[in-house]
Structure 1
Amino acid sequence: MPLSAFRPCLAFAMLFLTFAALARDYRYSDAHLHYVDFFQESAGMPALLAAMDANLIEHVMISGIPVAKKWHEDEPKRPRYYAGDDAAAYWYSATDVLVASALKRLPAEQRRRFHPFLCGFNPSDKNADAHIRRMLELDPGLWQGIGEVFTRHDDLTSLIEGSTPRANNEAMVRVYHLAAEHDLPVMLHANITSKREKNPLYLQEVEEPLRNHPHVRFIWAHAGTSMEIHRHQTKLEFLLPSLERLLDAYPNLYIDLSWSLLQPYLLDEQGKPDPAWVKLVSRHPERFMLGSDVVGRFDSLGKLMHGFDPFLDALPDAVARKVARDNFLAVLPRKVREQGLH
């Protein structure tokens, strides 16, 4: 066969190798994972570790769920989710005990991959900071953050027994002072608006702590959005300008790009990255992180984390790697970072 016959194959091979060299291979930190579900049940550590190893997830923020869903005696079937029926949910402090117990059974080399956040307290109770302090004293050095703290949270807000928590209430102010004292980041779930209002109705509840507690690193879960809001409003046109302003004004604000933001914000209906969001993340390369927000089951962990890959690919390479892995690790307490995170 003449040499000319091999030239198309050679050209194709060179093109393939070029694209292969340009392909990015990310390592991930999951900045938002719940070890248990709303019934305080979990698939367990072996399942979680297997999902992490299979999907290049090196580090995980691990927390419980601060409330438990009640199976009310008038309900004939056990609900599968907090929205499964009209029964209430209640604050459940033992969720942190479950997380701590699971971590303590791990060998040291695996345990270093987990970064537990303490969440089992009522954020409308001014005793909350005393409870958190007791938990820190019970397990010195274990807890590396506070959250996910549920404040404004769609229909769950009205289901939780007791008064509605706010991110700027007196109880949370005491928690923020404790967080600053112990160098702990705080992850807040605080919806930016309701299901109906087409304006940033609750934004001041987040902005006030950002302004008044500059020494606290705040991680805003889902950037104040939720799937329930999306079902009613599709897309919040004021979200991007609000984030631009807040990120410019408050260097202590970090954004958790968990799954409910993937569409319709980061990616359009065709799965293409939104240039405006690419620009925003590129302008603030150290302020965004990825989260799966799985609750107690881990089969979807890889799909959720790799779902961000098209958006990461649109970012400059160095920025993409920070968002995928490093930015979450950078907000952890200084003592943790000084121990080395590999």
Structure 2
Amino acid sequence: MPSIHLALGLLLSLLVMNAQARDYAFSDAHFHYVDFFQESEGIKALLEKMDESNIDHIMFSGIPVAKKWHENEPQRPRYYAGDDAAAYWYSATDFIILRALEHLTPDQRKRFHPFLSGFNPNDKNADAHIRRLLEMNPGVWKGLGEVFTRHDDLTALISGDVPRANNEAMYRIYALAEEFDLPVMVHSNITSKRERMPLYLEEIEDPLRYFPNVRFIWAHAGTSMELHRHQEKLEFLFDTVKRMLETYPNLYIDLSWTVLDPYLLNKDGEANAQWVKLVTDYPDRFMLGSDVVGSFKNMDKYLDAFIPFLDALPEEVAHKVARDNFLAVLPSEKEQD
């Protein structure tokens, strides 16, 4: 009899735990429909993956560069870092996005929020190019980016000068973003692979200061897997992000996968209390993204990996981070179904 009572007690406990478990719907706030060769599994595969993964909304963008298969390379590279051949700015990525949108029904279309990315951030003509696309497709584009500036080894591989988030060409783009009320997602590494200090911080901090009416989404909070391969963990990151959130109300943080480990979760997979408090203190300023490129099979894996951290947040905050904060940063879609 005692064993039966014990079993019933355990069953009751499991039922209570399951009743209290949270169900999350997601917005994928950092997503690339194509890879570095401008290829994709296609819109049908993406819709199927979104439906099975509880992804209600998506930041729908291409990739602003294409990787060259160089004449001297015997094998086609599989990624931008596959060999030493260059990458080049590729404006047609936005037309791939526009074409994909044509295959959506009106109800499906409401879930897709296109970000325009196919421009050279070193070119002071870029703002004129962006304006043309905005005016050719009124109301379609909901943001700009992901803009590649400091981006690991990709920075050195892109033909031309090293992009910076605080150069004159980008300032012209930010002014245009302000005019059209568009958020801007910027990839700007906080440091180099070897310097254990925020070497490049001013490159993202300057535009935050000079364009207070532009909503900036900082991709990966300035981190990357390549930085972690060399430094494992940026010890200065938490204090830097905290200070910047305090200082710049126009800063939003994309927590996509390189921030999850080793910052949001510890080695045992438990939520880091420091980061839990920071996100709770700034409940409207963080969002999640899968950062997949052209292939969608791991979207749910990357987003579900955040659930232990989301579960450690107050429930209202968790749902904001998982879904609503991305929607709130968009220009004309403060409310979504």
TMscore range, shorter length: over 0.9
Deviations 1:225-257 (A, max 9, x none): 000000000000000000010000000000000
Work out the CA distance in 2 between the residues paired with 1:190 and 1:8: 55
- Specify the code of the residue in structure 2 equivalent to 1:48: L
Q: How many Å separate the matches in 2 of 1:245 and 1:54?
A: 38
Tell me how far apart the structure 1 counterparts of residues 142 and 258 of structure 2 sit (CA, whole Å): 25
Aligned match of 1:341:
336
Alignment pair present for 1:217 and 2:215: yes
User: How far off is 1:6 after superposition?
Assistant: 5.6
Secondary structure of the residue aligned to 1:33 is coil
Provide the residue aligned with 2:306 in structure 1: 308
Q: Report matched runs for 1:141-180 at 5 Å.
A: 141-180=139-178
One-letter amino acid of the counterpart of residue 83, structure 1: A
Query: Within 5 Å, which residues of 2 pair with 1:105-116?
Result: 105-116=103-114
Provide, for residues 130-183 of structure 1, a one-character-per-residue CA deviation record: whole Å limited to 9, x for no partner.
Answer: 000000011111100000000000100000001111100000000001001101
Q: CA deviation at 1:9?
A: 4.2
Q: Corresponding residue for 2:267?
A: 269
Question: In structure 1, how many angstroms separate the alpha carbons of the residues matched to 2:124 and 2:9?
Answer: 69
The CA distance in 2 between the partners of 1:11 and 1:196, in whole Å, is 54
Aligned in 2, Cα 1:240/1:5: closer, same or farther, shift over 3 Å? closer
1:75-126 Cα distance to aligned partner (Å, 9 max, x none)? 0000000000000000000000001110122111111101010000000100
Shift of 1:46: 1.0
Match of 1:238?
Answer: 236
Which whole-Å CA distance do the structure 1 matches of 2:235 and 2:3 have between them? 56
Contact 2:43 2:103 (8 Å CA) reproduced: no
What is the rounded CA distance, in whole Å, between the counterparts of 1:75 and 1:261 in structure 2? 34
Offset, 1:17: 2.0
Answer yes or no: is 1:93 the counterpart of 2:91: yes
Q: Which residue of 1 aligns with 2:324?
A: 326
Partners of 2:132 and 2:58 in 1: CA distance: 24
Distance 1:16 1:119, change over 3 A: same
Give how far 1:28 is off: 0.4
| Cα distance in 1 between the residues matched to 2:322 and 2:303 | 9
Equivalent in the alignment of 2:249:
251
| Structure-2 separation of matches of 1:18 and 1:228 | 42
Q: Which amino acid aligns with 1:68?
A: A
Runs of 5+ in structure 2 lacking a partner? none
Provide the rounded CA distance (Å) in 1 between the counterparts of 2:75 and 2:90.
Answer: 22
Secondary structure of the 1:235 match is coil
* Change beyond 3 A, Cα 1:8–1:192: same
Q: What residue is the counterpart of 1:138 in the other structure?
A: 136
Q: How does 1:65-84 map to 2 (within 5 A)?
A: 65-84=63-82
TM-score, reference length from structure 1: 0.97
More moved, 103-112 vs 119-128: 103-112
Where structure 1 has 5 or more consecutive residues not aligned to the other structure, the ranges are: none
Can you list the C-alpha shifts for 1:179-226, whole angstroms capped at 9, x where unaligned?
Answer: 011010000000000000000000001111001100000000000000
Structure 1 Cα separation of the partners of residues 83 and 7 of structure 2: 61
Match of 1:195 in 2: 193
Identity among equivalent pairs (%): 66
Structure 1 residues 265-274 or 123-132, which shifts more?
Answer: 265-274
- Report the Cα distance in structure 1 between the residues aligned to 2:333 and 2:304, rounded to whole angstroms: 27
Give the counterpart of 1:14 among 8, 12, 15: 12
**Structure 2 length normalisation: TM-score?**
0.98
In structure 1, distance between residues paired with 2:4 and 2:195: 64
Partner Cα separation in structure 2 for residue 68 and residue 145 of structure 1: 21
Displacement after TM superposition at 1:279 (Å): 1.1
**CA distance in structure 2 between the aligned counterparts of 1:168 and 1:241, rounded to whole angstroms:** 22
Which amino acid in 2 is paired with 1:241?
Answer: D
Query: Separation in 1 of the partners of 2:263 and 2:164?
Result: 25
In 1: Cα distance, 2:269 partner to 2:48 partner: 28
**Alignment correspondent of 1:292:** 290
Q: Which runs of 4+ in 1 moved over 2 A?
A: 4-14
CA RMSD, 1 decimal: 1.1
Distance 1:92 1:277 in 2: 37
What letter corresponds to residue 54 of structure 2 in structure 1?
Answer: L
- In the alignment, the residues of structure 1 paired with residue 121 and residue 3 of structure 2 have an alpha-carbon distance, to the nearest angstrom, of 72
- How many residues are matched? 337
Secondary structure, aligned partner of 1:32: coil
